């Protein structure tokens, strides 16, 4: 089925006979495979008598060689999948198999993509970026302080450089354009964070997606914001270079050296918000973050600090 897709990815018409010859199957078998493509991957295929079959939109598939050509300093091995449950889950499995870090897991789609707090992450085929970079951390807890916020900065700056000037940050792990989510970060740890551990830097970016019924919040994509289709190989390469830059700064100088830059790009700085922790809600005003990346809120005139993976921040209705 994926071999058939690669024949069709140029967006041109291909006759059923030519496709059958290329695949070594009958024309009726080609028809069945095309139906599978539409049903399983959600692709739209035009069928015109006398001309053949054509993808409604040409596809550019991820290509490790092209990515490395554009970012030669990012010499991480790339594990690329046509389909996977989630790139973070595969990254964790690869760690347990003994895959040496750093390495990168990419997939054209996810069948069980995960966001923070157990949410699903919409993952249509060949439209977005599903990206998990695995690092080995030996510097103890200091190397983990504010790490997800550092990754968010790298994602935001990559999007700005690629023509999305309105991209900004929302504590702790979202990149927004206005009030619409364009990217999210999910970090997962394996091992002893006080000694030696592995960290999975999971990044999901809405790139060429134009419609979905899988998301229950406001969202946008690079294509919707810019009006053009972006080559995802270029985005992956640029993200790798930007992550290298920010991760090196973080490793050498610590998160406190990046704290001010993060606050300057926090879209909700100074805003009235509600912090949701399970069934509890805390109302306050965003003061910023501390040197470990925890949220600083003014609550009833008193500064309080909050951190944790199960917290959710929302704008108050009156802000």
Catalytic residue numbers, as ranges: 116, 181, 314
How would you list the strands of the sheet with 167-170, edge to edge?
Answer: 78-81, 103-107, 129-137, 197-205, 180-191, 174-177, 167-170
Query: Which two structure tokens, joined as six digits, stand for 57?
Result: 């939109």
Residue 93, marked binder: no
- 101-132 core/surface letters (b: 16 or more CB in 10 A; e: else): bbbbbbbbbbeebbbbeeeebbbbbbbbbbbb
Query: Which two structure tokens, joined as six digits, stand for 67?
Result: 């990515």
The DSSP H or E segment spanning 226 is helix 222-226
Count Cα neighbours of 308 within 13 Å in the Cβ-side half-sphere: 10
Residue 115, marked binder: yes
Rg of the chain on CA atoms, in Å: 22
Residue 284, marked binder: no
Measured CA to CA in angstroms, residue 311 lies from 29, 34, 45, 225, 258 at distances of 51, 44, 42, 28, 22
Residue 114, marked binder: yes
Residue 248, marked binder: no
* CA–CA gap between residue 108 and residue 106 (Å, rounded): 7
Q: What angle do CA 122, 58, 180 make, to 5 degrees?
A: 35
**Dihedrals φ, ψ of 305, to 5°?**
-120, 135
* CA–CA gap between residue 82 and residue 105 (Å, rounded): 11
* CA–CA gap between residue 88 and residue 91 (Å, rounded): 5
Residue 181, marked binder: yes
Binding-site residues for biotin, in ranges, read 86-88, 110, 114-116, 181
Which amino acids are annotated as binding site, given as ranges?
Answer: 86-88, 110, 114-116, 181
């Amino acid at each position: 089925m994926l071999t058939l897709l690669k024949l069709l990815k140029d967006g041109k018409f291909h006759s059923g006979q030519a496709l059958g010859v290329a695949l070594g199957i009958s024309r009726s078998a080609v028809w069945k495979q095309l139906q599978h493509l539409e049903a399983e991957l959600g692709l739209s295929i035009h069928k015109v008598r006398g001309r053949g079959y054509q993808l409604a939109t040409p596809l550019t598939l991820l290509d490790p060689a092209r990515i490395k050509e554009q970012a030669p300093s990012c010499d991480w091995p790339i594990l690329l999948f046509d389909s996977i449950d989630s790139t973070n889950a595969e990254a964790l499995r690869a760690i347990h198999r003994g895959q040496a870090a750093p390495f990168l897991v990419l997939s054209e789609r996810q069948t069980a993509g995960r966001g923070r707090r157990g949410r699903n992450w919409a993952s249509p085929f060949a439209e977005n970026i599903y990206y998990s970079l695995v690092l080995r951390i030996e510097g103890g807890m200091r190397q983990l302080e504010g790490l997800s916020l550092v990754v968010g900065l790298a994602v935001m700056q990559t999007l700005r450089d690629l023509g999305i000037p309105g991209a900004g940050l929302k504590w702790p792990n979202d990149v927004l354009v206005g009030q619409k989510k364009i990217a999210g970060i999910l970090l997962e740890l394996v091992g002893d964070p006080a000694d030696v551990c592995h960290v999975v830097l999971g990044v999901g970016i809405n790139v060429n997606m134009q419609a979905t019924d899988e998301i229950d919040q406001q969202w946008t994509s690079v294509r919707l914001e810019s009006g053009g289709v972006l080559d995802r190989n270029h985005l992956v390469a640029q993200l790798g270079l930007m992550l290298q830059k920010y991760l090196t700064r973080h490793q050498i100088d610590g998160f406190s050296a990046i704290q001010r830059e993060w606050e300057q790009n926090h879209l909700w700085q100074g805003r009235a918000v509600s912090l949701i922790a399970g069934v509890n809600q805390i109302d306050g005003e965003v003061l910023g973050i501390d040197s470990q990346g925890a949220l600083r809120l003014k609550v009833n005139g008193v500064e309080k600090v909050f951190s944790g993976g199960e917290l959710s921040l929302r704008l108050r209705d009156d802000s």
